[in-house]
Chains A and B, each alone.
Chain A
Amino acid sequence: MIYLDNAATTKPYDQVCDLVYNEMKNDYVNASAVYDYANHAKSVVDRARRDIAQTIGAITDEIYFTSCGSESDNWALKAVAEAYSNKGRHIITSKIEHHAILNTCQYLESRGFEITYLAVDKAGNVSSRDLLQAIRPDTILISIMMANNEIGTIEPIAELAKLAHERGILFHTDAVQAYDHIPIDVNELGVDLMSVSGHKFRGPKGVGFLYIKRQVKIGSFIHGGAQERQRRAGTVNVAGIAGMGLAAKMAHESLDLVRDETSKLRDYLACKILSTIDDVELNGPGLKDNRLANNLNVIFHGVRGESLLIMADREGIAISSGSACATGSLEPSHVLKAIGLSDDEAYSSIRLTVSELNTYEELDLAVSKLAKIVEDLRRIRRERL
């Protein structure tokens, strides 16, 4: 299989797989137990926490382990909403957030909160001017993603967080696609809360973390035992956390190198597609602009994206489009609609996200197969009309 869907998930490092296996096999004792046997597991978790904190310039105690990015998003939004509901009930986010943010916001709306969903420009950028206009005396939280999963736009978080703080408003960012893909320093950025997910930077699935700045006082999302300093219950996932810690460290160390390699591969892929296939248009920021190095998203005009995906699958290429709904069928992407695409254009759009594991030969092969598929689909459509 030629895997071009790294925004969906990434292949874990071999060393991470080995570590997770070993931890499961040899370190299975409950990390919260009192006996000495548990101390090793505790130290493994501690080590991971420290390593991760270092990657973002945070204090160790500011890292809280969760099961995934969605949980971190839910925790941040719901807990802030609850803690500050006496101060105000207005939250600002953007139209292009991941559903973990959007659906949580919709839920909060049903609980009496007011949400402003900021529009974005053609490249997916959130503007500080728009944010400023949206801020009200009763705004208690602003949540803007650091980088968009569909079109790769990198948002000006430092600028936006500054606006929030000048008005005493908490700032959360969903950094699931950004973490260890772009350098992050929480102090420079000035964020109060940040969500991250392990499987997007070659760590395990089923584990993530929420960065909570020391002074921020919010309640729990998952109540129960005293794990994570009584802020997030649930038996500590030692193996997963160890794996994520190692992946975080490895990805951080190689960040610049990998980003460089990845953008070269992505640019090559883009160039190949645009020169081989007619009537293709780029979605999102320019490749040299504020865009994630691995992300490519294009409209294949006159082609049904769904059929293209299925045909690509039958040719052994893994790519994606829009967002899968519960059944696994495609809906037109809300992100593409937000940057101004029509339904047709959204249905014809494909996302390709590379990794450092792809080779130029793979990309050549993928493009030649895609070219044939696109040609066939366009021909069939002409014939059937």
Chain B
Amino acid sequence: MKKKVVVGMSGGVDSSVTAYLLKEAGYDVIGVTMEIWKDMDPAAQALEGGCCGLSAVDDARRVADVIGIPYYVMNFKADFQKHVIDYFVREYQQGRTPNPCIACNRYVKWESLLDRALEIGADYVATGHYAKIIQLPNGRYTVANSESIDKDQTYVLYNLTQDQLAHTLMPVGDYDKSQIRKIAEEVGLPVAHKHDSQDICFVPDHDYASFIERETGLKQKEGNFVDLEGNVLGRHKGIIHYTVGQRKGLGIASTEPYFVKEVRPESNEVLLVRSKDLFADTLYCDDINFMDRETITEPIRVLGKIRYSHKGAMCTLSLENDRLKAVFDEPQRAFTKGQAAVFYEDGHIVAGGVIV
């Protein structure tokens, strides 16, 4: 009996080719676009090509037609609002920098989509992520680096559960991005030359601060920039405008540059430091997800990534009072509360958590 797989189709090249590859591999493929966001102004959508707007659906539908698979649009707005938008707004208001893509993956693309995929008779879900899902000799599933080194997306998948991984296919992880575009061209998919979507899909104009103001109905309060001694250095526009490590947009004239070190919602202050004080070698995480093993009982040597764009650095990882503790060999720049730290061994994920 053919295995059924629901492919999450965003209308982009990667998920389109995913659907094609799986059909070729003999799966019963059903294409689904997840409708996640309120009806946006169509002009704004078209401009940004943001994920899952009307034009994304049209593109996905056309691709499904070319490949010859059934296609549906499913309504995930309530889930997305609760697990992604509300989380995003809350984190910024609490002085942390969220990663909504990670939340979306865990709760919307996997938990919700998987549930619904199983409801419509599927055995798997599939996405166009550049990552590989492998099963280790100890029986655990984990996410391994893709063939596409610069497009590797394993970082945003650290939070997936064993059940979710067991039900997921990611064919694109075996290819380099350039190969994927080539396949799309050869097959005649109408999205072969579509630009990759950048930035957060639900804030197409990149203006997170305005977005949060609209969502909450609250105007941002100005406050003080302070330094390590507590001196007031200037006024900030509202804490949601700042993230750790930020240098631009501070509006402070000085001989040496200042960087954001900490955002303090309780006092409505933003702590600025000189470059050297941005570096540290130890970080802690909670909300831990262990992937390739159930837990760690003694310190291990792993590669740690502290943000999506971070190349990764060697560190010693241990468990301390229900928190992951990572001591890096070299001091790293700007550990950011709210961001994920993901730890790798042999090219696959060991565990990850949220930086506290």
Residues of A within 8 A of B (CB): 304, 306-307, 310-311, 313-314, 325-331, 343, 376-377, 380-381, 384
Contacts and interface: CB of A to CB of B under 8 A. Distances in A.
B178 to A, nearest CB: 31
A45 to B, nearest CB: 36
A91 B72 CA distance: 38
B115 A311 contact: no
Contacts of B74: 306, 329
Contacts of A329: 33, 35, 72-75
Nearest to B61: A328
B73 A314 contact: no
A328 B73 contact: yes
Given A325-B39, A328-B73, A311 B121 contact: yes
Given A306-B74, A307-B116, A328 B121 contact: no
A328 B75 CA distance: 9
Interface string B320-354: 00000000000000000000000000000000000
A380 B74 CA distance: 18
B299 interface: no
Interface string B204-244: 00000000000000000000000000000000000000000
Interface string B229-271: 0000000000000000000000000000000000000000000
A326 B39 contact: yes
Interface residues of B, number: 17
A327 B33 contact: yes
29 contacts: A304-B116, A304-B119, A307-B116, A307-B119, A310-B72, A310-B120, A311-B119, A311-B120, A311-B121, A313-B70, A314-B120, A314-B121, A326-B39, A326-B54, A327-B33, A327-B35, A327-B57, A327-B73, A328-B72, A329-B33, A329-B72, A329-B73, A331-B75, A343-B78, A376-B121, A380-B118, A380-B119, A381-B119, A384-B118
A327 B118 contact: no
Contacts of B75: 306, 329-331
Nearest to A322: B75
Contacts of A306: 74-75, 116
Interface in B10-52: 33, 35, 39
Given A327-B54, A327-B57, A377 B119 contact: yes
Interface of B: 33, 35, 39, 54, 57, 70, 72-75, 78, 115-116, 118-121
Given A306-B116, A307-B120, 6 more contacts: A307-B116, A327-B33, A328-B57, A329-B73, A329-B74, A384-B115
A307 B74 CA distance: 9
A166 to B, nearest CB: 40
B33 to A, nearest CB: 7
A328 B35 CA distance: 9
A220 B126 CA distance: 52
B77 to A, nearest CB: 8
A331 B75 CA distance: 7
Contacts of B121: 311, 314, 376
Nearest to B163: A384
A358 to B, nearest CB: 24
Nearest to B53: A327
Contacts of A326: 39, 54
Nearest to B42: A326
Q: List the 6 closest pairs (A to B, CB-CB), nearest first.
A: A329-B73, A307-B119, A329-B75, A329-B35, A327-B57, A328-B73
Interface centre among A313, A327, A331, by most B CB within 10 Å? A327
Nearest to B36: A329
A311 B121 CA distance: 8
B324 to A, nearest CB: 29
Contacts of A381: 119
Interface centre among B75, B78, B119, B121, by most A CB within 10 Å? B119
Nearest to B32: A310
A325 B39 CA distance: 9
A380 B117 CA distance: 11
Contacts of A343: 78
A381 B119 CA distance: 8
Contacts of A327: 33, 35, 54, 57, 73
A381 B112 CA distance: 12
Contacts of A380: 115, 118-119
Nearest to B60: A327
Contacts of A325: 35, 39
Interface centre among B116, B120, B121, by most A CB within 10 Å? B120
B70 A314 contact: yes
A310 B120 CA distance: 7
A327 B35 CA distance: 8
A343 B82 CA distance: 15
Interface centre among B57, B75, B78, by most A CB within 10 Å? B75
Nearest to B117: A307
B109 to A, nearest CB: 16
Nearest to A325: B39
Nearest to B120: A310
Contacts of A304: 116, 119
Contacts of A313: 70
